[in-house]
Chains A and B, each alone.
Chain A
Amino acid sequence: MIDRTPRSLTSRRGFLRTLGLVASAGLIQACAPAAPAPSKPAESKPAAPAATTAPAAAAPAKPAEAATSAEAAKPAAQTAPAAAKPGGTLVAGWDSDPGALDNNLDRGAVTRTLLHMVYDRIVERDIAVKADLPPFGPGLATSWEVSPDAKVYTFKLRPGVKFHDGTPCDAEAIKFNIERNSNPNHPFYHKAGAGANALGYKDLDKVEVVDANTVRVTHKAPFADFLNVLAFGTYSIGSPTQIQKVGNDEFGNQPVGSGPFKYVERERGVKVVFERNPEYWGGAPALDRFIIRPLPEAVARLTALETGEVDWTNNVHPDSIEKVRANPNLVIELAQLPNTWGYIPNHRAEPTKNVKLRQALNWAVNREALSKDIMKGLAVPSTSPFAPTGTAGHNPNIKGYSFDPAKAKALLTEAGYKGEELRFQIPQGAVGSPFAVQMNEYLQQNFKDVGINVKIEALEAQVMQQNLSNGMPNDVHAYSVGFSVDEMVNLQRHYRSDLVPPNGNTNPGWIENPELDAKLKKALETSNEEERKKIYFDIQQQAVDMAAWVWVVHQKGARAWSKKVQGFVNPNSYMFTFKTVSLG
């Protein structure tokens, strides 16, 4: 084999002069000041024709490049909008490329948001209204009856709803969807979907079509939280006709739902295109189309927004918030996500199995500084399992931890901690939280300051995932986690001893407390909502007292858009929708 290493000669006599000249160029580049990017000059279009209802909030027309001339904005905050003039294509820059749009699979918050736009569910959390907590309400079902033993649910469906392919979305369709994800003998049994929806359908007894618009679901055991589960994105209803036509594998690539937007096409890594569903039962959206542009780089998203390449973006980096705020053409809003971010300590291994050590960890964290200085307001301090807004489970009266290094040190002495090294494993580069590594580094300093010796191991997100399923081995002392914790039923997943691995991956720290278990069981069986709430609040307080987790912050999502985007509601949720948006 011939060695093809290039042979070259360099003549470098007289180098000194030229080296000096050229090297300075490199230095200049390194010190280049960051001049703010000018946004593309806005072409001033003539004021939109006034033949439309012009609500007071409409800004004067100042578009960059709407595909068609956009008209007055629709009034915001209405799920069933009045007939507004349609038009325009919204381009949104998102932080990742959505996965397959399968109605029963969880591909992450980004994809689930799209599920909310392409499909409907039996019941919904309405993310199109401005509220502290997205309100729970009707979806495809307009009303329902629950039997006193919380086993039988009868849903009355909205008549006349059609899928994008024209077929009716009726009781038969709902039955198809539910059975497909629960009955192994169904001709289109969706194994992966059954897995993802196990929480809702595991104890299913039967599904009956009572009449064309009434469907009855019966469980084998009491399931008081069933309705809350049904509002989740993976319980979306897809068109049986389309599923039968293309098969389980392909359905995610050619999705057909009944939602406000229809899927058109996609080019991987470049764009995903959706268009308006004019027959939508909730009123057709104003936009003609919207296009998702995946831009994983925070800087790229920011630049694209500033230059007008995109109109809307999510996940603004904390350090860019000021820049966006200062830009007169842009709007930025922070939404409280139902996110609980912190550590799950190992309850089986020394020394974290000692409650005093766990409490010390909690007292050592300076949540305020983390939220304000490092996260620039993109997080709020967390002292309990639920975020203060945007979650149904928040207990306003909970007594939690604050920043008290002295107390931490005292507890450490009481616990007999001798400075052993603690191994904390954290995910690196998880989508939506690119900042996680820095946050963890900050906390490591917090711990060091009170004398706790923490070693961080940053693992690939996939590996962390597997570790969560396997549970913590004896020589790992905590996992850094950022769970979506919104409904109270989530407490079941995190604290029940029968859900430790391998039965689940939400309790990897081996929390096995008989008292907690008893309370959790009772809650499942209590169908009275007030009673149930009391029990769950009690559970939360106990969890806090025993320092089951180390709660650090609840993260917020920063979303920014150009002023020409009207009517966007920024809900306190991972999800959001474009169905109320118009381009002004």
Chain B
Amino acid sequence: MRAYVCGRLVSAVPVLFGVSVVIFLLMKLIPGDAAQVLAGPSATREEVELIREDLGLNEPLYVQYGKWLARAVRGDLGRSIELRAPVTVMVLERFKNTAILAGASMLLAVAIGVSAGVISATRPLSLFDRLAMVGALFGNSMPTFWLGLVLILVFSLGLGLFPSNGMYDIRSGGGPVDLLHHLVLPSITLAGVSAAILARVTRSSMLEVIHREYVTTARAKGLGDRRVIWGHALKNAMLPVVTVMGVQLGYLLGGSILVETVFSWPGLGLQLFRAISSRDLPLVQGGVMLVSAIFVFLNLAIDVLYAFLDPRVRYS
């Protein structure tokens, strides 16, 4: 077991390294540079040159990357070019906001998706089941940015029930109730797809396990205790569900930019989008590295969980 975990950890390193190189190269290839942005619309070439030198952008690529890497492994991700603040601080600040949104969406998705899936599995082909599966189909097909706009249209502009943007009401200064109020629409939007997928996976997984257990036990014992079957079935069925949950969490953390755009949620996705637009290389690298690292370790955790529960996997 330990060998497996160590093996996976070790293989994660070159992946992260690769990510940092790719992002570095991409940002360097993008036309336009940070010095230009900093200098502003009315600067002359020489002004831009001065800034460029100040930022060390004229050094050869491998030197620039090397400097970044040397500092990064020590935990110093540099300073944002545009905002001059330390990248680590900025990224973590915004990541917290994205995590709140992703967390709330995950909770919602699990609550709705898994319970719908379980109930559907217990009453296959009933009205509930059919409605739930239609709902899952819709949720799966929904473009998140459209759903967000529609929700804003109906619940914010139309009924005035929920705010249409931001995390806190500036005046009242925050507090958990205010946060929840602001969280409702964006988390519903983000949770849609995940809930749909979870519902379907839970349902199919449960169905398969129930069938197996029921048939086996029925053969062995005659009729078998329903509760035992249920308890057993549920546990076994959860494995693929948990796997999917992990994948979904990764997707939520990394792909929240569309929802953040629609709702002006001050999260990491939005920050990275802006950073790419302003060619703020340190910020982009720092942010992408953080998200990728989380992604990679999340996958790793899922693999380890799988391996733990299913010994066959360890030896493949």
Q: In the bound complex, do residue B84 and residue A269 qualify as a contact, i.e. CB atoms below 8 Å apart?
A: no
Q: Confirm or deny: B264 has a beta carbon within 8 angstroms of a beta carbon on chain A.
A: yes
Q: Across the interface, name the chain A residue whose C-beta is closest to B135.
A: A22
A-contacting 9-mer, from B57-65, B100-108, B150-158, B285-293? B150-158
- Cα distance A249–B271 in the bound complex, in angstroms: 21
Q: Confirm or deny: A303 has a beta carbon within 8 angstroms of a beta carbon on chain B.
A: yes
B81 to chain A minimum Cβ distance, whole angstroms, is 10
Q: Confirm or deny: A4 has a beta carbon within 8 angstroms of a beta carbon on chain B.
A: yes
Q: Type the 1/0 row for B32-70, where 1 means its CB is closer than 8 Å to any CB of A.
A: 110011111111111111110110000000000000000
Q: Confirm or deny: A422 has a beta carbon within 8 angstroms of a beta carbon on chain B.
A: no
- Cα distance A17–B130 in the bound complex, in angstroms: 10
With A270-B166, A300-B264 as contacts: A307 and B160 at CB distance below 8 Å: yes
Q: In the bound complex, do residue B79 and residue A249 qualify as a contact, i.e. CB atoms below 8 Å apart?
A: yes
SS class of chain B's interface: helix, strand, loop or mixed? helix
Q: Type the 1/0 row for A93-108, where 1 means its CB is closer than 8 Å to any CB of B.
A: 0000001100001111
Q: In the bound complex, do residue B170 and residue A309 qualify as a contact, i.e. CB atoms below 8 Å apart?
A: yes
- Cα distance A117–B65 in the bound complex, in angstroms: 39
Q: In the bound complex, do residue A107 and residue B40 qualify as a contact, i.e. CB atoms below 8 Å apart?
A: yes
- B96-127 residues at the A interface, CB under 8 angstroms: 124-125, 127
Q: In the bound complex, do residue B43 and residue A270 qualify as a contact, i.e. CB atoms below 8 Å apart?
A: no
Residues in A with CB closer than 8 Å to B200 are 6, 8-10
With A191-B53, A250-B84, A299-B152 as contacts: A502 and B137 at CB distance below 8 Å: no
Which of B42, B135, B240 is within 8 Å of A106, CB to CB? B42
Q: Confirm or deny: A65 has a beta carbon within 8 angstroms of a beta carbon on chain B.
A: yes
Q: Confirm or deny: B236 has a beta carbon within 8 angstroms of a beta carbon on chain A.
A: no
Residues in B with CB closer than 8 Å to A37 are 156-158, 160
B74 to chain A minimum Cβ distance, whole angstroms, is 19
B142 to chain A minimum Cβ distance, whole angstroms, is 9
- Cα distance A310–B163 in the bound complex, in angstroms: 12
With A192-B38, A460-B277, A465-B37 as contacts: A253 and B85 at CB distance below 8 Å: yes
With A7-B201, A67-B171, A463-B31 as contacts: A505 and B134 at CB distance below 8 Å: no
Q: Confirm or deny: B21 has a beta carbon within 8 angstroms of a beta carbon on chain A.
A: no
Q: Across the interface, name the chain B residue whose C-beta is closest to A504.
A: B44
Q: Across the interface, name the chain A residue whose C-beta is closest to B196.
A: A8
Q: Type the 1/0 row for A8-35, where 1 means its CB is closer than 8 Å to any CB of B.
A: 1111111101110010001001101111
- B130-146 residues at the A interface, CB under 8 angstroms: 130-131, 133-138
Q: How many CB-defined contacts (below 8 Å) exist between A and B? A: 221
- B258-290 residues at the A interface, CB under 8 angstroms: 262, 264, 266, 270-271, 277-279
- Cα distance A350–B202 in the bound complex, in angstroms: 66
The winner among B131, B170, B247 for most chain A CB atoms within 10 A is: B170
Q: In the bound complex, do residue B266 and residue A269 qualify as a contact, i.e. CB atoms below 8 Å apart?
A: yes
Which of B36, B49, B94, B170 is within 8 Å of A466, CB to CB? B36
Residues in B with CB closer than 8 Å to A295 are 165-166, 264
Q: Confirm or deny: A51 has a beta carbon within 8 angstroms of a beta carbon on chain B.
A: no
B-contacting 9-mer, from A70-78, A79-87, A194-202, A406-414? A194-202
- Cα distance A7–B93 in the bound complex, in angstroms: 36
Q: Confirm or deny: B306 has a beta carbon within 8 angstroms of a beta carbon on chain A.
A: yes
- A286-311 residues at the B interface, CB under 8 angstroms: 291, 293, 295-297, 299-300, 303-304, 307, 309-310
Q: In the bound complex, do residue A15 and residue B130 qualify as a contact, i.e. CB atoms below 8 Å apart?
A: yes
Q: In the bound complex, do residue A195 and residue B50 qualify as a contact, i.e. CB atoms below 8 Å apart?
A: yes
Q: In the bound complex, do residue A19 and residue B264 qualify as a contact, i.e. CB atoms below 8 Å apart?
A: no
Q: In the bound complex, do residue B164 and residue A303 qualify as a contact, i.e. CB atoms below 8 Å apart?
A: yes
Q: In the bound complex, do residue A293 and residue B43 qualify as a contact, i.e. CB atoms below 8 Å apart?
A: no
Q: Type the 1/0 row for B78-98, where 1 means its CB is closer than 8 Å to any CB of A.
A: 010011110000100110000
Q: In the bound complex, do residue A198 and residue B164 qualify as a contact, i.e. CB atoms below 8 Å apart?
A: no
Which of B44, B125, B262 is within 8 Å of A503, CB to CB? B44
Q: Confirm or deny: B217 has a beta carbon within 8 angstroms of a beta carbon on chain A.
A: no
- Cα distance A100–B240 in the bound complex, in angstroms: 48
Residues in A with CB closer than 8 Å to B264 are 295-297, 300
Q: Confirm or deny: A91 has a beta carbon within 8 angstroms of a beta carbon on chain B.
A: yes
- Cα distance A291–B169 in the bound complex, in angstroms: 12
Q: Confirm or deny: B213 has a beta carbon within 8 angstroms of a beta carbon on chain A.
A: no
Q: In the bound complex, do residue A108 and residue B40 qualify as a contact, i.e. CB atoms below 8 Å apart?
A: yes
Q: Confirm or deny: A469 has a beta carbon within 8 angstroms of a beta carbon on chain B.
A: yes
Q: Across the interface, name the chain B residue whose C-beta is closest to A65.
A: B171
- Cα distance A134–B271 in the bound complex, in angstroms: 36
Q: In the bound complex, do residue A300 and residue B165 qualify as a contact, i.e. CB atoms below 8 Å apart?
A: yes
Q: In the bound complex, do residue A462 and residue B47 qualify as a contact, i.e. CB atoms below 8 Å apart?
A: no
Residues in A with CB closer than 8 Å to B43 are 106, 195-196, 198, 505
- Cα distance A554–B197 in the bound complex, in angstroms: 51
B136 to chain A minimum Cβ distance, whole angstroms, is 7
Q: In the bound complex, do residue A253 and residue B39 qualify as a contact, i.e. CB atoms below 8 Å apart?
A: no
Q: Across the interface, name the chain B residue whose C-beta is closest to A304.
A: B165
Q: In the bound complex, do residue A268 and residue B133 qualify as a contact, i.e. CB atoms below 8 Å apart?
A: no
Q: Confirm or deny: B302 has a beta carbon within 8 angstroms of a beta carbon on chain A.
A: yes
Residues in B with CB closer than 8 Å to A291 are 170
Residues in B with CB closer than 8 Å to A194 are 47, 50
- Cα distance A19–B264 in the bound complex, in angstroms: 34
A246 to chain B minimum Cβ distance, whole angstroms, is 11
Q: In the bound complex, do residue A2 and residue B313 qualify as a contact, i.e. CB atoms below 8 Å apart?
A: yes
With A7-B240, A504-B44 as contacts: A38 and B160 at CB distance below 8 Å: yes
With A7-B240, A191-B54, A295-B165 as contacts: A269 and B94 at CB distance below 8 Å: yes
Q: Type the 1/0 row for A232-276, where 1 means its CB is closer than 8 Å to any CB of B.
A: 000000000000000001101100000000000001111100000
Which of A8, A91, A108, A269 is within 8 Å of B170, CB to CB? A91
Residues in B with CB closer than 8 Å to A32 are 150, 153-154, 158
- Cα distance A271–B244 in the bound complex, in angstroms: 37
Q: In the bound complex, do residue A195 and residue B48 qualify as a contact, i.e. CB atoms below 8 Å apart?
A: yes
Q: In the bound complex, do residue B41 and residue A309 qualify as a contact, i.e. CB atoms below 8 Å apart?
A: no
Q: Confirm or deny: A212 has a beta carbon within 8 angstroms of a beta carbon on chain B.
A: no
Residues in A with CB closer than 8 Å to B54 are 191-192
The winner among A34, A269, A304, A506 for most chain B CB atoms within 10 A is: A269
Q: Confirm or deny: B168 has a beta carbon within 8 angstroms of a beta carbon on chain A.
A: yes
Q: Type the 1/0 row for B182-210, where 1 means its CB is closer than 8 Å to any CB of A.
A: 00000000000000010011011001000
Q: In the bound complex, do residue A29 and residue B240 qualify as a contact, i.e. CB atoms below 8 Å apart?
A: no
Residues in A with CB closer than 8 Å to B39 are 106, 192, 195-196
Which of B45, B158, B207 is within 8 Å of A504, CB to CB? B45
Which of A15, A26, A268 is within 8 Å of B90, CB to CB? A268
- A201-217 residues at the B interface, CB under 8 angstroms: none
Residues in B with CB closer than 8 Å to A492 are none
Q: In the bound complex, do residue B303 and residue A2 qualify as a contact, i.e. CB atoms below 8 Å apart?
A: yes
- Cα distance A250–B306 in the bound complex, in angstroms: 48
Q: In the bound complex, do residue A9 and residue B204 qualify as a contact, i.e. CB atoms below 8 Å apart?
A: yes
Q: In the bound complex, do residue A469 and residue B48 qualify as a contact, i.e. CB atoms below 8 Å apart?
A: yes
Q: Which of A's residues lie within 8 Å of B, judged by CB? A: 2, 4, 6-15, 17-19, 22, 26, 29-30, 32-35, 37-38, 65, 67, 89, 91, 99-100, 105-108, 191-192, 194-196, 198, 249-250, 252-253, 267-271, 291, 293, 295-297, 299-300, 303-304, 307, 309-310, 460-463, 465-466, 468-469, 483, 493, 499, 501-506
Question: Can you list 9 pairs linking A and B with CB atoms under 8 Å apart?
Answer: A2-B313, A4-B302, A6-B197, A34-B153, A89-B171, A91-B171, A198-B44, A198-B46, A499-B44
Starting from the known contacts A7-B201, A29-B150, A89-B171, 10 additional A-B residue pairs (CB-CB under 8 Å) come to A8-B201, A18-B134, A100-B83, A105-B38, A108-B40, A195-B49, A299-B164, A460-B32, A502-B45, A504-B44
- Which 6 residue pairs across A and B have the least CB separation, nearest first? A195-B47, A269-B266, A106-B40, A8-B200, A462-B32, A9-B204
